[in-house]
Amino acid sequence: MNATPSSPLRVAIIGAGQVADKVHAAYYRTRDDLQMVAVCDSSEAQAQQFAGRYGIPLACTDVQAMLATARPDVVSVCSPNRFHYEHVMQALAAGCHVMCEKPPAMTVEEADTMRRAARHAGRVLAYDFHHRFALDALLLREQVQAGVLGEVYVTIARALRRCGVPGWGVFTSKTLSGGGPLIDIGIHMLDAAMYVLGFPAVRRVSAHSFQRIGNRKSSGQFGVWDPTTFSVEDAVFATIEFRNGGILRLDTSFALNIPQQSIMNVEFCGERAGATLFPAHVYQDEDGKLVTLCAREAADDNRHLRSMEHTST
């Protein structure tokens, strides 16, 4: 275990794919007080290519060997969902702080064990639920807490795409991802909605899931996939009932026949006012006219950066 953190902090990345590249390494390279010392991927070529791109001295395929050799202070876990549990637990056991990609794990039990292991090790375990770091989410959370909306009794979260099955990675594999749009994109709007609402206690959840398009079509706005191996749901429609009497509707799909290419947003309906998350807009009806109480002109696009910053400080 690294009892004394090094200066600059030593960072290792597990899973050298697109999110490791576009979000994690892209952020770490901007920090003078962080140094990327190792990258690990099950594909040696992928690890080496990534290391070459960022000037990382160690590229390897074995997580345990990487942790022992590079002795990082911080580990970014960017592997497919199936491996989050194993990689987070290994990194925590090696005394590292961990920034893990969403979803935390494949099951609630795994996520809970990870949470307890981090607490026991006295290390930070953070997840890249970046939408809650948008200034829009922060503003709406303040408005909800200040009672501007009154009691919010209906929340509608949507993460919907018209034919937007990911054409890369393992997002269509139940074994490696654990599920489809619910665990991949729905989870983002669910997290943002729950954050704004202040995480009310849940009484009951009911849901319907479908597999009607992902196993029939094979191409869309995010590339080409194999419909014969499409083993996840392609749509979920859920209702979460809270103990406070309110409900949250979550509609999520990789491929739904809707006119919009994509909808990633949340509506909050309170007794006094309503709000839309992206961009943040709080409004009220006055004699049939829509009146804005407060609004951001555009949605905050620096969410990923803020999420990485929050974890690294």
Q: Summarize as ranges the residues that interact with ligand NAD (CB under 6 A).
A: 14-20, 40-43, 46, 78-81, 83, 101-102, 128, 130, 168-169, 184
As measured in angstroms, the least distance from the Cβ of 36 to ligand NAD is 16
User: Rounded CA gap, 13 and 47, in Å?
Assistant: 10
Q: Of 20 and 140, which has the nearer Cβ to ligand NAD?
A: 20
Q: Of 144 and 189, which has the nearer Cβ to ligand NAD?
A: 189
User: Rounded CA gap, 235 and 247, in Å?
Assistant: 19
User: Rounded CA gap, 29 and 120, in Å?
Assistant: 30
Three-state DSSP at 201 gives coil
What number of H helices and E strands is found in the chain? 11, 16
Q: Tell me, what DSSP letter sits at residue 200? A: P
As measured in angstroms, the least distance from the Cβ of 88 to ligand NAD is 11
Q: Which two tokens stand for residue 169?
A: 């990675």
Q: Of 95 and 169, which has the nearer Cβ to ligand NAD?
A: 169
Q: Of 17 and 181, which has the nearer Cβ to ligand NAD?
A: 17
The residue with its CB nearest to ligand NAD is 17
Report the residue count for the chain: 313
Q: How far is CA 306 from CA 33, 84, 128, 177, 197, in A?
A: 17, 22, 10, 26, 20
Q: Of 169 and 200, which has the nearer Cβ to ligand NAD?
A: 169
User: Rounded CA gap, 12 and 142, in Å?
Assistant: 36
Q: Of 83 and 242, which has the nearer Cβ to ligand NAD?
A: 83
Three-state DSSP at 216 gives coil
Residue pair 196/140 in contact by the 8 Å Cβ criterion: yes
Residue pair 125/88 in contact by the 8 Å Cβ criterion: yes
Q: At 45, which helix (H) or strand (E)?
A: helix 44-54
Residue pair 121/214 in contact by the 8 Å Cβ criterion: no
As measured in angstroms, the least distance from the Cβ of 16 to ligand NAD is 5
As measured in angstroms, the least distance from the Cβ of 73 to ligand NAD is 20
User: Rounded CA gap, 294 and 32, in Å?
Assistant: 38
As measured in angstroms, the least distance from the Cβ of 207 to ligand NAD is 20
As measured in angstroms, the least distance from the Cβ of 272 to ligand NAD is 33
Quickly tell me which residue has 């949340």 as its tokens. 266
Q: Of 186 and 270, which has the nearer Cβ to ligand NAD?
A: 186
As measured in angstroms, the least distance from the Cβ of 39 to ligand NAD is 10
Q: Of 2 and 42, which has the nearer Cβ to ligand NAD?
A: 42
As measured in angstroms, the least distance from the Cβ of 11 to ligand NAD is 16
